[in-house]
């Protein structure tokens, strides 16, 4: 009896009122997180109201910071989509960090080898291809291991993150190190024509369009094509999908490859648009933040992009903490964590409301 | 000292913090809850341990406080995944960010502080054994404690009534419930105990191994611990071997460099991760067979609703 009620209520179209309630709950979660974070700020001897107003003012009412948010959002949106696509098929991709790194390394290898020989536009196209291919291969390793040897992909992608970071470190400490630099373990900077062009007179590079286009394409693929539909069937019940004659393994692998390519693109965009050189710690946990953005938005492509933008603005707000309040920039991780705790804590309530 | 002994001694010293975290994660995963936030628990344990040691002058107080901090962060994870049914992987990563943030917020003032750290105690008699003595019996007190902790946790899990309940909660919670136990309570306790042990691991890192605190000092050791638990097939005794393998990889490159060998450090650093993936490949069927059933459900579950 109960299950029939659940099914019938799930079939009913969502009501505006429940959407409003959802928004209210999210707002409440956000306020709760801000309050707890405020307590931490007080414990550090700073005034939370000043801190918050500084954060908002310097993040959203300052053209450089708004540009900073958009620049940070580029790789984040792409890497978050890289979690969302496999998630639709029931796969857990925790390897965004490594796929970004490998994408950046591949783009860096191609870019730094060719930027003084070939025209800028050509280099950019080759870097895009190299980044996407490298990310796809990196995620594909985990995908193949899962399908042939049943190695859990959540664990293998996580481990491969560290291998990717070690590859980056190996390259920048030895073969690719800038011989004319100050001795720091970094590559030389990408030549100007090969960098992603800036939009208008702003600090934002065209990577943001790549991210937006990718979001729309993935939305279309997920919601409007048979590939997207089949992925969701496999993610819902892979055994049923197999009996219905779907090529489950091919679908799972395709989801993983597309995901990896997206994250690899994110690495390319981050390298050729923002960092312009390979250095240690250049990804700054972007892959893990992206994972959370995708979960926050329950893997719906458009919402994923919005969640990534939100987390990017929180991350950029961290810089204002450092400048205005003298708190370390990484402090903002507490705020981000608390927002996520509050939102996740509110999830079951929503599900109960649906079931009732 | 010969290279082998040097690396072996370094492996034990450097592997101890990972071992504590892996033992804790074994308990947690045996109860069916994976905690990627182990990294965060180690971080808060490292800072709390260091801070309390600096303020009280006694590193043992630091260890206890570190355990408390790690346990508290794990309790938040437990609440989200057990009460709120949040995704275990996502919630664990959130704990990582909370841990990173809290330690950077409160850690700044301890960066330049010095503490009464744990010092190596050469055990009389035992440390004189040729070779082995230097490797095993010339360490800090927390390392000796870990020698006892691993078999103790093995006994807890496989020979005690509590262990039966923990494993029951991880395999078939319904059965426990039918016998009148609360699987939720047992999972809570297991996750908090796991976080507390990760906190001890972090405290070992800051108050016994490096004798310092700096931001992000755990550098992925918590993630290694999570991988290690699978490598060790959820067995505390095998976790010892795994932890020292990782410790050896960490110790090998400085030992080689000290002898003038120019080996690329990063190829070596990647080795433990590659080995773990390979072990998973070779033993994948067996490993999955050994996994607690509740954990398989978690990892294989379709995350979309």
Please tell me the least confidently modeled range out of A281-295, B9-23, B81-95, B242-256.
B242-256
Q: Which of chain B's residues have a Cβ under 8 Å away from the Cβ of A235?
A: 302-304
A251 touches chain B (CB under 8 A): no
Tens digit of each residue's pLDDT (9 = 90 or more) over A131-187: 999 999 999 999 999 888 878 888 889 889 989 998 999 899 888 988 888 878 899
Q: Which of chain B's residues have a Cβ under 8 Å away from the Cβ of A336?
A: 97, 101
* Between A14 and B238, the higher pLDDT residue: B238
Predicted pLDDT of residue B276:
75
Q: Which of chain B's residues have a Cβ under 8 Å away from the Cβ of A158?
A: 36, 223, 226-227
d(CA A296, CA A173): 37
Q: Are B215 and B103 in contact (CB under 8 A)?
A: yes
Cβ distance of A167 and B104 shorter than 8 Å: no
Q: Which of chain B's residues have a Cβ under 8 Å away from the Cβ of A291?
A: 89-90, 93
CB neighbours (10 Å) of residue A191?
A: 16
Block residue for tokens 């103790």: B152
Q: What helix, strand, coil percent values describe chain A, rounded to 5?
A: 75, 0, 20
d(CA A346, CA B295): 23
Predicted pLDDT of residue A16:
58
Q: How far is CA B107 from CA A51, B1, B51, in A?
A: 19, 37, 8
d(CA A353, CA B200): 41
Dihedral over Cα of B135, B137, B142, B147: its sign? positive
The full 3-state SS of A263-275, as one line of letters, equals: HHHHHHHHHHHHH
Structure ipTM: 0.81
Predicted pLDDT of residue B135:
82
Q: Are A109 and A175 in contact (CB under 8 A)?
A: no
Cβ distance of A90 and B304 shorter than 8 Å: yes
Predicted pLDDT of residue A283:
87
User: Do you know the residue count of chain B?
Assistant: 305
Q: How confident is the model at residue B287 (pLDDT cuts 50, 70, 90)?
A: low
Structure tokens belonging to residue B24:
């804790």
Of the partner residues B86, B106, B276, the one whose CB lies closest to the CB of residue A344: B86
Q: How confident is the model at residue B23 (pLDDT cuts 50, 70, 90)?
A: very high
What 8-state DSSP symbol labels residue B140? -
Q: Which of chain A's residues have a Cβ under 8 Å away from the Cβ of B302?
A: 90, 235-238
d(CA A85, CA A66): 28
* d(CA B148, nearest CA chain A) in Å: 29
Predicted pLDDT of residue A7:
43
Cβ distance of A345 and B79 shorter than 8 Å: yes
Ramachandran angles phi, psi of A186, nearest 5°: -140, 160
Q: Are B224 and B18 in contact (CB under 8 A)?
A: yes
Q: Which of A28-37, A294-303, B108-117 has the highest mean pLDDT?
A: A294-303
* d(CA A122, nearest CA chain B) in Å: 32
d(CA B305, CA B301): 10
Q: Provide long-range contacts, Cβ within 8 A and 24+ apart, for A120-123.
A: A120/A191, A120/A192, A120/A193, A120/A194, A120/A195, A123/A193, A123/A194
d(CA B7, CA A236): 49
């Amino acid at each position: 009896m109960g299950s029939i009620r659940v099914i019938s209520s799930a079939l009913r179209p969502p009501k505006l009122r429940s959407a409003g309630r959802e928004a209210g709950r999210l707002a409440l979660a956000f306020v709760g997180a801000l309050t707890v974070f405020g307590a931490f700020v007080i414990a550090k001897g700073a005034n939370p109201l000043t801190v918050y107003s500084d954060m908002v003012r310097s993040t959203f009412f300052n053209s450089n910071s708004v540009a900073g948010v958009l620049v940070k959002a580029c790789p984040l949106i792409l890497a978050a989509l890289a979690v969302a696509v496999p998630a639709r098929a029931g796969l857990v991709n925790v390897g965004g960090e490594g796929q970004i790194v490998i994408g950046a390394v591949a783009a860096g290898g191609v870019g730094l080898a060719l930027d003084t020989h070939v025209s800028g536009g050509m280099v950019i196209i080759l870097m895009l291809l190299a980044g996407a291919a490298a990310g796809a291969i990196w995620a594909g390793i985990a995908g193949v291991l899962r399908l042939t040897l049943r190695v859990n992909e959540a664990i293998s992608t996580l481990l491969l993150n560290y291998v990717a970071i070690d590859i980056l470190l190996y390259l920048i400490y030895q073969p690719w190190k800038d011989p004319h630099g100050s001795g720091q373990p970094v590559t030389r900077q990408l030549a100007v024509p090969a960098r992603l062009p800036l939009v208008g007179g702003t600090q934002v590079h065209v990577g943001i369009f790549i991210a937006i286009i990718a979001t729309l394409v993935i939305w279309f693929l997920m919601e409007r094509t048979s590939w997207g539909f089949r992925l969701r069937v496999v993610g819902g019940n892979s055994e049923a999908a197999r009996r219905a004659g779907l090529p489950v393994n091919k679908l799972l692998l395709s989801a993983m490859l597309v995901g990896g390519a997206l994250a690899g693109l994110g690495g390319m965009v981050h390298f050729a648009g923002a960092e312009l050189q390979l250095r240690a710690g250049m990804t700054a946990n972007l892959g893990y933040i992206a994972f959370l953005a995708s979960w926050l938005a329950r893997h719906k492509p458009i919402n994923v992009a919005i969640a990534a933008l939100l987390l990017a603005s929180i991350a950029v707000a961290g810089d204002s903490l450092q400048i205005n309040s003298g708190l370390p920039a990484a402090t903002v991780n507490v705020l981000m964590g608390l927002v996520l705790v509050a939102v996740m804590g509110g999830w079951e309530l929503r599900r109960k409301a649906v079931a009732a | 000292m010969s290279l082998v002994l040097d690396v072996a001694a370094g492996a034990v010293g450097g592997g101890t913090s990972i071992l504590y975290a892996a033992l804790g994660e074994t308990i947690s995963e045996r109860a069916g809850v994976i905690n990627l936030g182990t990294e965060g628990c180690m971080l808060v344990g490292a800072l709390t341990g260091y801070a309390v040691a600096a303020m009280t002058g006694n590193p043992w107080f630091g260890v206890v406080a570190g355990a408390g901090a790690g346990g508290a962060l794990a309790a938040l994870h437990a609440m989200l995944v057990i009460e709120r049914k949040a995704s275990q992987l996502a919630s664990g990563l959130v704990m990582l960010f909370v841990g990173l943030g809290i330690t950077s917020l409160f850690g700044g003032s301890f960066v330049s502080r010095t503490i009464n750290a744990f010092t190596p105690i050469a055990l009389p008699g035992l440390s004189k054994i040729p070779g082995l003595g230097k490797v095993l019996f010339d360490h800090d007190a927390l390392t000796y404690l870990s020698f006892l902790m691993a078999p103790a946790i093995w006994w807890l899990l496989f020979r005690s009534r509590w262990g039966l309940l923990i494993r029951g909660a991880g395999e078939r919670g319904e059965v426990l419930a039918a016998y009148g136990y609360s699987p939720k309570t047992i999972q809570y306790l297991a996750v908090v105990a796991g976080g507390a042990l990760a906190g001890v691991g972090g405290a070992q890192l800051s108050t016994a191994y490096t004798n310092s605190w700096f931001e992000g000092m755990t550098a992925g050791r918590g993630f290694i611990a999570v991988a290690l638990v699978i490598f060790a097939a959820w067995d505390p005794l095998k976790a010892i071997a795994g932890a020292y393998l990782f410790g050896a990889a960490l110790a090998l490159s400085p030992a080689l460099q000290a002898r003038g060998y120019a080996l690329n450090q990063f190829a070596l650093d990647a080795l433990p991760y590659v080995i773990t993936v390979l072990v998973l490949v070779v033993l994948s069927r067996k490993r999955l067979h050994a996994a607690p059933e509740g954990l398989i459900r978690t990892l294989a579950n379709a995350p979309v609703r």
